[in-house]
Structure 1
Amino acid sequence: MKDKYYIGLASTFHDPAIAILDRDGTVIFAESTERYLQNKRAMGSPADTEIWIENQIRNYCPNAAEAEFHISTTWSQNYVNSLKLFYNLGFYNFSPTAIIRKTIHTAYKSMLPNENLVWFLNKQFASNIQTGANLERTLRWSFNNNSIKRYRFNHHETHAAYSAFSSTFDNATCLVVDGIGEKGSVSYFKYADNQLELKGHHKGSESLGFFYTLITLLCEFNPIAGEEWKVMGLAPYGKKDDTYYKLLNSLISIKDCNVKFKNNPNLILKVIGVINEDLNGSKESVFAKKANLAYTGQLLFSEYMIELLNNLYKKGYSENLALSGGCALNSAFNGKIICETNFKELYIPSAPGDDGTAIGAAYLSLKRDRPDMKMVRTNKLSPYLGNQINDQEVENYIKFSGNKRVEKYPGMVHMVTAKLLAQGKLIGWSQGRAEFGPRALGNRSILADPRKVDMKDVINSRIKFREEFRPFAPSILAEYGNNYFEDYQDSPYMERTLKFKDEVLSKIPAVVHVDQTGRLQSVSKDLNPTFHALIDCFNQLTGVPIILNTSFNVMGKPIINSFQDALNVFYNSGLDVLVINDYVISK
């Protein structure tokens, strides 16, 4: 039987990624382009970068010369045709004529200024034209393979396919909420009987994603760099500001499952001006005012999402919710969904943003080729789908570096590492295959002892070099979740924030945020036996089944990808120990 591979390429201009499925629907590789390039978000880079893509085909697609390849991207042909039309009409000129400027302003009311909209469409056009070209050329020239089929899928459909087909649900309500899709920022689907059916979508430029972008900008963070995280981290330091609430709430509202402008979109500029004037002219500390703005913006976002979800629930598709799109990265809100909406079960994949659409596109091409194939899973999709650092790289380092402070502990590295953590050491930890998605889930992590009150400040000053208000995550043995969190929910991908119980706060101060919450990772033997064994050893030593976990990088850089990346962070930061597979490297 001829081998088949289904390759999805996330073709949004930000957060490009690749996913490879085999003929049975197994995800055999998935990785964000930023990891290989070590360029945060990899803006404007194709998911199938030259040279690199050939290596991945050789690594993950045996018999590539004889196999059949189905290549799919994550924006539809109609959408790409529209982008091409805009290009031909001159819309991407950064100094457009008055007629074009008026046309944009009239036809596309947006929460973004016109110049940002022009930039966005320009980048989208370039990305969708180039994505897939390198892969197709590589297959034809390097493998002499012309058995290639190409597809372009609707953007929100790729989001929904990823969340539906990677879940363990046999039926679900699938909601996609992001900055913008092909017609709007919200789409919802019914998943049942192995089929994904679009039930409705919002039309227009109103957007909860762009609303949060606005809050990010007003707080003087950079949404292009993905700094919405900072708003979430800052918000608990603030309180509701009634003036900000009234101003921001004057912009949009929820109508059924749609986002609508309440007033003329031009009001946005007035709101921005009033808030900026207040921030700059206030006698209060700027930090306090921005914290209040972040809190109020997060509060409104949560209220909008709760209203949207409860309206969607009334349609009666399913009590299981599969949530995706960029807004599904708001872990501070995600922890409220089960308690504050009518949905009974929640699933959010490890990469709900645009990088995850690569898996969704690959799933859709598989379904198109094999429409009767059953997609229901019996276990959670592993997030550990990326690159692996092999032992030979470490052996070469030992041989040529002259470093004598390297030990190998086959089958015992988790025990050795647990002892080092209990001694207060800061550890760079790399095991097995890298995580797919933005969170470090115990395979590319910086780890520390959560019992030390000053540990957060130590990591920020010695390694992460970031703002002190940003919290660090608790990775907890899943079987202890109910002992530490109120209304505990399993959170395998660090996708939701929950509140710690009062009686445990003094045990783990380094991972408790100012509002008594933690964005937790529930660690199970099934998904990550090595990381589970490490935390279990730490628990045996300390009586605490939690360790502090943050991504293995420094601020502004992606999570490490190669052994060289790991060494760079290790020797240029305050890490004490580097653990790669079974090797322990000390300074």
Structure 2
Amino acid sequence: MISLGICGGHDANWCVFKDGKLLGAFEKERFSRIRHDSGNVMDYVEKTLRKLGISPNEIDVIMTTEANFKGTDPGLEYVSKKVYDEPNEWVEMKVKFYGREIPCFSVPHHLSHASYAFYTSNEEESVTLTWDGGGDFYTTNAYTSTSISYWENNKLKWFKKIGNCDIGSLWHIYSKSIFQNPFAAGKLMGLAALGENKFVETFADYCMRPVRGCLNPAKAIKNCWPDEDMPMFSTVNSWRHKDAADIAYAIQKVTNYAGINLAKKAYEVTKAKTLCLGGGVALNGYLNTELAKLKIFDRVFVPPSVHDGGLSLGAVMFILNNVLNLKTCKISDQDLVFNGTEYNDEECIGAIQKYGVKAEPLNRFSIIQRTAEEISNGKVIAWYEGKSEHGPRALGHRSLLADPRYPKIKERLNNEIKFREPFRPIAPVVLEKDVHYCTRDIEYSPFMMHIVETTDEFRDENPAAVHLDGTARIQTVAGNSGIGEIIEYMKENTGGKALLNTSFNCNEPIVETPENAIKTFLEVPIDYLCLNGKFWIKKE
């Protein structure tokens, strides 16, 4: 059975499963080159299916999410269409797909978030919390911004929405107010490191309220949407304003309080050993680390596409496991991240010829050696290889790499290459076996989902990798991965123990194709491009 998952909301995405195994997952923005792009994805779906060697006529069933019903239809042609009423319901419809009528299941927004978080954990039992700025806006009773669900023996046991709890609304409002961009929660989180405890009590008084539902009387952040057009501190409309950083600091602190309160109550209700997290708020690395440090759960799992870009996977995995009784296969960390499109050497050579750049082919050892040595000399390398990442983080296949031992390299990356705010941190990468060289807070961070306190040794040796509050959004990698091999070479030959890793892009989505990679390389002052892990390109 071949299943197609599809979502047309912001961060529109689709995925393909065959007999319960994930074959690929994709986001529209990587192909359209429009950040957070939404709507019709059908032309891209066909292209990626053919890349996987699958004809559209081989699709047996489609799973989708609530975005169909709010003006962001992904392009499906409905034969019959239904709307669910509750956040734990699902409905079966029919669609016409390339001339054939096939079944289509629609799964609610937060149930899809929860399903993605649980099934990618490879656990058999878990409590799952989802939190964002809201989903299922155009349904009767399904709208919610926060949910709790319990999963056992690989199936959903129960799902409940949590009322009067909307952490994402607070981040949306102040991202919009301070950065004029409601999708700038990551910037607001970075700005928090510059702030002080000036407005924490003010924000706690404003937004911390007891939730409704099974997690009552835990206090969390209320629904702040009514204040979107005129929030507190509405005159603070720039990150340079003297109060902006203190506002960001306060928002981060109340978010930590809210998340900890909900997690503690979730454990009290379920006694689960594992906590899985989904929804856009689960991109908050400070909160994720605080939850891991609680030690009330044996494991806190945060997958890479917790934002809406993972909804199609959640919809597919929910229907396969709970409705069609087809158990999905366990997914390794590598396959969970690197499951986008892969471009062969012929396509890379075509892009090289199109742009007229000179490329030197090198074997694997030589490309690792040269990359490590040039990074150690203070150069910035664009590293492009294999399948593209799924999710908002570049984790080693579409990355800009640099040496964190150079104090000024962060300034160069932010100001000259990425053209972004100077306070923005750059994530460090260390080998899995060296995680304690960087931090004592966690043991493992393959998806760059934790912001941790760094050790004295790491701060002293890697000044460009440490944020202004002494933290870092760490990524851990295996020694046999591409960037793992680079670090291993540096440890043995140049003294470096870490890399800086930021996404390979400049004011647009992460590069997808070899043509995207060369075009971006030529437009900004990156020193070298390693294409497909074997073609070494330098500017003339």
**Are 2:60 and 1:69 aligned?**
yes
Structure-1 separation of matches of 2:120 and 2:338: 13
**Which residue number corresponds to residue 18 of structure 1?**
14
Matches within 5 A, 1:235-314: 235-242=192-199, 245-247=201-203, 249-255=205-211, 257=215, 268=227, 272=231, 274-277=232-235, 279=236, 286-314=240-268
Aligned residue in 2 for 1:458: 412
| 1:543 CA drift (Å) | 2.5
Amino acid of the residue matched to residue 246 of structure 1? T
> Identity over aligned residues, as a percent?
27
| Alpha-carbon shift at residue 299 of structure 1 (Å) | 0.6
Query: Cα distance, 1:264 vs. partner?
Result: 10
SS of the residue corresponding to residue 373 of structure 2 reads helix
Give matches, 1:367-382, under 5 Å. 367-368=321-322, 370-371=324-325, 373=327, 381-382=335-336
Please list the CA deviations of residues 115-173 of structure 1 after superposition, one character each: whole Å capped at 9, or x if unmatched.
xxxxxxxxxx2114x44349x999524xxxx3622110121111111111111322111
Which residue is equivalent to 1:93?
A: none
Alignment partner of 1:288: what SS?
coil
How far apart in 2 are the matches of 1:336 and 1:178? 18
- Is the partner of 2:422 in helix, strand or coil? coil
- The question of whether the paired residues in 1 share the 8 Å contact of 2:166 and 2:221 is answered with no
Equivalent residues of 1:177, 1:328 under 8 A apart: yes
Question: Which residue pairs with 1:339 in the alignment?
Answer: 293
* Residue 480 of structure 2 is aligned to residue 520 of structure 1: no
2:27 paired with 1:55: no
Equivalent in 508, 523, 536 of residue 584 of structure 1: 536
Q: How many pairs align?
A: 514
Asked if 1:171 is matched to 2:125, the reply is yes
Answer whether contact 2:167 2:222 (CA < 8 A) is retained: no
Three-state SS of the structure 2 residue aligned to 1:233 is helix
Q: Is the 8 A contact 1:309 1:341 kept in 2?
A: no
C-alpha distance in structure 1 between counterparts of 2:223 and 2:478, whole Å? 50
1:579 and 1:265 map into 2 onto residues whose CA distance is 46
Look up the SS of the partner of 2:445 in the other structure: coil
Q: For residue 202 of structure 1, report the CA deviation from its aligned partner.
A: 1.9
The offset of 1:58, in angstroms, is 1.9
CA distance in 2, matches of 1:185, 1:399: 49
Structure 1 residues 461 and 429, CA, compared in 2 at 3 Å: closer, same or farther? Answer: same
1:401 CA displacement: 5.0
CA contact (8 A) 1:9 1:132 kept: no
Deviation track 1:469-493 (CA, whole Å, cap 9, x = no partner) reads: 0000001111100122122330100
Task: Select the residue among 501, 505, 510 that pairs with 1:553.
Answer: 505
1:132 aligns with 2:76: yes
Does structure 2 conserve the Cα–Cα contact (< 8 Å) formed by 1:230 and 1:470? yes
Tell me which moved more, 146-155 or 393-402.
Answer: 393-402
Contact 1:168 1:380 in 2 (8 A): no
1:5-404 mapped onto 2 (5 Å cutoff)? 5-11=2-8, 13-23=9-19, 25-42=20-37, 44-46=38-40, 48-50=41-43, 52-62=44-54, 65=57, 67-75=58-66, 125-128=70-73, 130-133=74-77, 139-141=97-99, 146=100, 148-181=102-135, 182-203=142-163, 206-223=165-182, 226-242=183-199, 245-247=201-203, 249-255=205-211, 257=215, 268=227, 272=231, 274-277=232-235, 279=236, 286-340=240-294, 342-368=296-322, 370-371=324-325, 373=327, 381-399=335-353, 401-403=355-357
Q: In 2, distance between residues paired with 1:245 and 1:49?
A: 48
Q: Which consecutive residues of structure 2, in runs of 5 or more, have no partner in the other structure?
A: 79-93, 136-141
Kindly tell me: are residues 208 and 337 of structure 1, through their superposed partners in 2, closer, same or farther at Cα, counting changes over 3 Å?
Answer: same
C-alpha distance in 2 between matches for 1:418 and 1:305? 40
1:397 deviates by 4.2
Equivalent position SS for 1:57: helix
Whether the 8 Å contact between 1:15 and 1:33 is mirrored in structure 2 is yes
Amino acid at match of 1:257: L
* Distance in 1 of aligned mates of 2:201 and 2:442: 30
Equivalent AA in structure 1 for residue 48 of structure 2: Q
CA contact (8 A) 1:73 1:132 kept: no
Contact 2:116 2:317 in 1 (8 A): yes
1:186 is displaced (CA, Å) by 1.1
Distance 1:63 1:572, change over 3 A: closer
Q: Distance in 2 between matches of 1:228 and 1:398?
A: 36
Task: Give the Cα–Cα distance (whole angstroms) in 2 for the partners of residues 249 and 185 of structure 1.
Answer: 21
* Distance of 2:422 and 2:469 partners within structure 1: 15
The answer to whether residue 484 in structure 2 is matched with residue 532 in structure 1 is yes
Give yes or no for contact 1:384–1:436 (8 Å, CA) kept in 2.
yes
Question: In 2, Cα distance between the equivalents of 1:382 and 1:263?
Answer: 33
2:405 alignment partner AA: R
Residue of structure 2 equivalent to 1:112: none
CA contact (8 A) 1:194 1:375 kept: no
Q: Is the 8 A contact 1:249 1:300 kept in 2?
A: no
When you count helix as a share of all residues, which structure comes out higher?
1
Q: Per-residue displacement from partner, 1:65-84 (whole Å, max 9, x unpaired)?
A: 4x3521011129xxx6xx5x
Letter in structure 2 aligned against 1:33? K
Q: Cα distance 1:263–1:180, how it changes in 2: closer, same or farther (>3 A)?
A: closer
CA contact (8 A) 2:219 2:258 kept: no
In the alignment, the residues of structure 1 paired with residue 431 and residue 186 of structure 2 have an alpha-carbon distance, to the nearest angstrom, of 25
The CA RMSD measured in Å over matched residues stands at 2.8
Partner of 2:523: 572
CA distance in structure 1 between the partners assigned to 2:153 and 2:334 by the alignment? 19
- Tell me the residue number matched to 1:90: none
SS of the residue corresponding to residue 189 of structure 1 reads: strand
Q: Distance in 1 between matches of 2:386 and 2:328?
A: 29
In structure 1, the gaps of 5 or more residues are: 84-124
- For 2:270 and 2:327, locate their aligned partners in 1 and report how far apart those are by CA, in whole Å: 26
Cα distance, 1:396–1:140 mapped onto 2, change above 3 Å? closer
The aligned amino acid for 2:510 is I
Residues 183, 202 of structure 1: 8 Å contact kept: no
Give the Å deviation of 1:263: 9.4
TM-superposition CA deviations, 1:72-122 (whole Å, max 9, x none)? 11129xxx6xx5xxxxxxxxxxxxxxxxxxxxxxxxxxxxxxxxxxxxxxx
Q: Using the TM superposition, give the Cα deviation of residue 371 of structure 1 relative to its aligned residue in structure 2, in angstroms.
A: 1.0
Encode CA deviations 1:286-342: one digit per residue, 9 max, x unaligned: 543111110011111111111111111101241211101111011121111121362
Cα pair 1:166 1:381 within 8 Å, conserved:
no
TM-score, normalised to structure 2, is: 0.88
Q: Which moved more, 1:193-202 or 1:308-317?
A: 193-202
Give the deviation of 1:380 after TM superposition: 6.6
User: CA separation in 2, counterparts of 1:21 and 1:171?
Assistant: 23
Q: Distance in 2 between matches of 1:177 and 1:364?
A: 18
CA offsets, 1:390-431, max 9 Å, x none? 21123234556553x421112222222111111111111101
Please state how far the C-alpha of 1:39 moved relative to its aligned partner: 0.5
- Partner SS state of residue 325, structure 2: coil
Question: Would the alpha carbon gap of residues 61 and 251 (structure 1) be closer, same or farther in structure 2, given more than 3 Å must change?
Answer: same
For 2:128 and 2:284, the matched residues in 1 are separated by: 17
Q: What is the distance in 2 between the residues matched to 1:266 and 1:238?
A: 24
